[in-house]
Every structure is written in structure tokens, then in C-alpha cells.
């Protein structure tokens, strides 16, 4: 029997699955586990099932000890994990790709609709108690039909977002490290372009690339400046891909029309200027937040941990 530490609350089904085979120490406090408590609890763990809010770095791996075999993140993004530090110590790191693709693409499409149709503004107006009535020019947004979506990072979530946007009548261009399946590209009528062209031609730019040193501030003042002044930026990937201060200035000065964000550079803090602006929709990192998706993520993370503890290849190793 091995010792499994779960760093935050996850659906019961995953805990039960782990408990059927191993001793499980699962944090169940209402708040995130504090760093000191986390370092204390991981000591002697054979597996750590981590949430994206916990930093899994060399200090934590060393606090766990040399018996640690696997870090199973309950997220597709793994910028919270120092993967090279895991590899150096022979620890397998895993994530949860695939199971949250549709839920996250649904949120990307929601943000596209909310931003282009000014839905947050409308909702806030009604709730403010201000007088309003239907008017020919009241809260006019911008249509999607015939417009171009630029997808930055054409993995599973990027493709699922493109598929939804196509159903709304949008043309698709994408920027990606690698060529996608030609059948998918043909089905979507998607054209691969470089980032600069994507920014120049797109009416909506949606970010779906992983975060790391190569994508830190991928969209800064210069890139935002390359976008059309009528265009919108949507981010459901990771906050620091965008220079949030530069985005706030671009939105304030009308250099782009609007934005929809589910993630933030210094999460959970939101840049104070963004909070003052009407042309940005702000969601609290809800990309994968459905009961079904969170359950599937936790079950996949449990399967990853169980496989490694059993001496098998996990279903979703990182790298």
C-alpha cells in the first residue's frame, strides 16, 4: 500500500478509487492548502495528486522524499509543475488532456459571444436598476457571421473552439507549432498562418496555447497593436500569455474593441484597470467547471497515479 497525498478537494469518486488500493491523505479544508501544511503533508508520499493552484517545485519534491514516484495534476495545463525537476528525480508527471476539451471550448465560445454581443454590459445595466428600453442603436455589438477567428494554439481545445465558431459562420485561421491533421483542417476550412498575420486578419483572437517561457507575454503591446481596432481577444488558456497591463491600455484607448478573459496574469488578482472597463468580460477561471468534467479530470488523475504506483505507463504522461 502506498501513500497518496491529494492537495485539494476533488470529487469523491476519485478519492474512493484511490482509497480502494492505497492510503489517501486528502486536504479537505474550505481554503487552499497553505504552503507550509502542504510541505509537511507530502513528506513520505509515493504519489501527489495536485491542483493547479499548488506549486510543485524542487522544494516540494525534496520535502516529499526519494520514494515519490508520480505527480498527477488535475488539470491539462501544468505550468504549476517544474517538470524538469520531476524528470531529474525520476518522478513521472501527468496531466488530464482530452476530458476538458469541450467544456473549455464552450467557455471560449461563451466569451466570444459575451464580448462581441456586449452581454455582460447588458446584464450589469439591468442589475444596476438604470432605466432602459429597446432602441435601434441600444447596446449594439458585432456579428460573428463571415468574420474571422484566429486560434493561437490549435491543439484539442483550439480545434474544438474552431469547430464551434465555424458553426456560427466564422472563417478560421490558426497559428500552431505543428501542422494539424489535414482532415481536421479541411473540415474546418482552417488556414495555418504566422502569429503576425493571424493578429492582422482576425476579428476575434482566441488563445489556446500552453503557458511557459516561450509564450510568456506572447501578446504584449506590439501584438495587441497589430490587431484590428474592431477585434476582440479571448483568453481561456493561462493569464501570463497576455501582458495584462498592455491589454488594459489597449482596451481603455479603444485600440481593440473588447476582450473576454477566464484567466489572469496574477490569478486570482485581476488587474484593477480591467475591473473599471466595460469592454471586457471577466470570468473566474471556469473553463473546466462542470460537474461531469471535474469528475472526469479527477478520475483521470487518479488513473494516472494508480498506473505509476502499479508500475505501469500512465494514460496521460506529460511530455
Among 77, 120, 258, 314, binds ligand GLV (CB under 6 A): 77
Measure the CA–CA gap between 59 and 30, rounded to whole angstroms.
Answer: 25
Query: Is residue 100 near ligand GLV by the rule CB under 6 A?
Result: yes
Q: Please, is 262 exposed, middle or buried when counting C-beta atoms within 10 Å of its C-beta (0-12, 13-18, 19+)?
A: buried
Catalytic residue among 41, 208, 285, 294: 285
The angle at the Cα of 261, spanning 259 to 265, to the nearest 5 degrees, equals: 115
Between helix 101-116 and helix 156-167 the angle, nearest 10°, is: 50
Stretch of 74-82, 116-124, 134-142, 152-160 contacting ligand GLV, by CB under 6 A: 74-82
Q: How far is CA 47 from CA 9, 62, 79, 80, 113, in A?
A: 16, 13, 19, 16, 41
> Is residue 238 among the annotated active site residues?
yes
Query: Is residue 52 near ligand GLV by the rule CB under 6 A?
Result: yes
Catalytic residue among 238, 265, 271, 294: 238
Measure the CA–CA gap between 196 and 136, rounded to whole angstroms.
Answer: 36
Query: Is residue 75 near ligand GLV by the rule CB under 6 A?
Result: yes
Among 72, 76, 173, 180, binds ligand GLV (CB under 6 A): 76
How many residues line the site for ligand GLV (CB under 6 A)? 7
Whether the upstream peptide bond of residue 268 has omega within 30° of 0, thus cis, is: yes
Stretch of 40-48, 71-79, 156-164, 251-259 contacting ligand GLV, by CB under 6 A: 71-79
Binders in 278-317 for ligand GLV, by CB under 6 A: 287-288
Applying CB under 6 A, the residues found at the interface with ligand GLV are 52, 75-77, 100, 287-288
Catalytic residues: 238, 267, 285
Amino acid at each position: 500500500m502506498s501513500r497518496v497525498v491529494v492537495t485539494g478537494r476533488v470529487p469523491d469518486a476519485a478519492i474512493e478509487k484511490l482509497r480502494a488500493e492505497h492510503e489517501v491523505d486528502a486536504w479537505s479544508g474550505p481554503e487552499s492548502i497553505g504552503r507550509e501544511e502542504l510541505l509537511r503533508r507530502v513528506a513520505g508520499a509515493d504519489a501527489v495528486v495536485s491542483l493547479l493552484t499548488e506549486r510543485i517545485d524542487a522544494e516540494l519534491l525534496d520535502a516529499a522524499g526519494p520514494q515519490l514516484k508520480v505527480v498527477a495534476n488535475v488539470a491539462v495545463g501544468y505550468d504549476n509543475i517544474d517538470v524538469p525537476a520531476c524528470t531529474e528525480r525520476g518522478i513521472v508527471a501527468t496531466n488530464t488532456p482530452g476530458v476538458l476539451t469541450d467544456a473549455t471550448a464552450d467557455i471560449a465560445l461563451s466569451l466570444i459571444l459575451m464580448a462581441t454581443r456586449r452581454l455582460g454590459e447588458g446584464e450589469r445595466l439591468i442589475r444596476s436598476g438604470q432605466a432602459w428600453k429597446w432602441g435601434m442603436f441600444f447596446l449594439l455589438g458585432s456579428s460573428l457571421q463571415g468574420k474571422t477567428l484566429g486560434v493561437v494554439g490549435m491543439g484539442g481545445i483550439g480545434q474544438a473552439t474552431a469547430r464551434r465558431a465555424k458553426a456560427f459562420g466564422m472563417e478560421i485561421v490558426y497559428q500552431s507549432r505543428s501542422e494539424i491533421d489535414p482532415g481536421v483542417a479541411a473540415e474546418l476550412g482552417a488556414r495555418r498562418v504566422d502569429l503576425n498575420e493571424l493578429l492582422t486578419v482576425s476579428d476575434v483572437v482566441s488563445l489556446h496555447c500552453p503557458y511557459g517561457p516561450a509564450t510568456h507575454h506572447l501578446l504584449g503591446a506590439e501584438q495587441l497593436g497589430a490587431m484590428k481596432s474592431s477585434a476582440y481577444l479571448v483568453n481561456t488558456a493561462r493569464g501570463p500569455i497576455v501582458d495584462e497591463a498592455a491589454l488594459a491600455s489597449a482596451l481603455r484607448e479603444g485600440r481593440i474593441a473588447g476582450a473576454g478573459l477566464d484567466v489572469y496574469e496574477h490569478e486570482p488578482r485581476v488587474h484593477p484597470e480591467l475591473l473599471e472597463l466595460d469592454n471586457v468580460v471577466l470570468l473566474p477561471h471556469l473553463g473546466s467547471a462542470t460537474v461531469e468534467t471535474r469528475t472526469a479530470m479527477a478520475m483521470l488523475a487518479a488513473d494516472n497515479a494508480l498506473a505509476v504506483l502499479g508500475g505501469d505507463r500512465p494514460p496521460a504522461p506529460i511530455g
